[in-house]
């Protein structure tokens, strides 16, 4: 079975990753995936590059725990998160969440649950290059409504 969490500098291929969550499992009737990409703007300012960093070991452990939680909450067969780090350009793929299940509802919900976690709680740090120079920004977006929907309390930064 393929690893559930991959942190890498290299790009990823959607069809390869979807294949990994299906892995010849004849029970699978649905696969839901989400791909996040680098935008050329943030907070109204132009972005030429973004550098994403993580704490090896801690980041993977955190995401693994949330995948475990997704398995408790939803009737899913497999889940995979591929997250890139390093120097990224606008339009580059940053993150993939893929989930398989018997039916689409569970896959959609688990995929959204995992993406909400990644966006609001996962330990990543990013540095953006703007016309005014480099700036470090918290990679976690405060979205209390998304967290509350899943019964997750906002973490104090």
Confidence at 136, pLDDT banded by 50, 70, 90: confident
The percentage of the chain sitting over the pLDDT mark of 70, rounded to a whole number, equals 90
- Taking only the tens place, the pLDDT of each residue in 35-72 is 999 999 887 889 999 999 999 999 999 999 999 999 99
For 49, the 3-state DSSP assignment is: strand
Q: Read off the pLDDT of each residue in 133-142 and give the average, rounded to a whole number.
A: 75
CATH architecture of the domain covering 5-143: Alpha-Beta Complex (3.90)
pLDDT at residue 12 is higher than 50: yes
41-42 and 45-46 as β-strands: parallel, antiparallel, unpaired? antiparallel
DSSP string, 58-109: HHHHHHHHHHHHHHHHS-EEEEEEEEE-EEE-TT-EEEEEEEEESSHHHHHH
Q: Where in the chain are the domains?
A: 5-143
pLDDT at residue 31 is higher than 80: yes
């Amino acid at each position: 079975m393929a690893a559930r969490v991959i942190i890498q500098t290299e790009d990823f291929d959607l069809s390869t990753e979807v294949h990994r969550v299906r892995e010849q499992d004849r029970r699978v009737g649905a696969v839901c995936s989400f791909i996040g990409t680098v935008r050329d703007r943030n907070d109204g300012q132009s972005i030429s590059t973004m550098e994403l960093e993580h704490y090896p070991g801690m980041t993977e452990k955190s995401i693994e725990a949330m995948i475990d939680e997704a398995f408790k909450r939803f009737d899913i067969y497999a889940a995979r998160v591929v997250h890139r780090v390093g120097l990224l350009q606008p339009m580059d793929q940053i993150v993939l969440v893929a989930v398989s299940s018997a039916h689409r509802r569970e896959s959609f919900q688990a995929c959204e649950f995992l993406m909400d976690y990644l966006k609001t709680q996962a330990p990543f740090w990013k540095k953006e290059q703007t016309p005014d120079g480099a700036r470090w920004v918290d990679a976690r977006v405060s979205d209390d409504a998304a967290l509350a929907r899943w019964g997750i309390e906002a973490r104090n930064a």
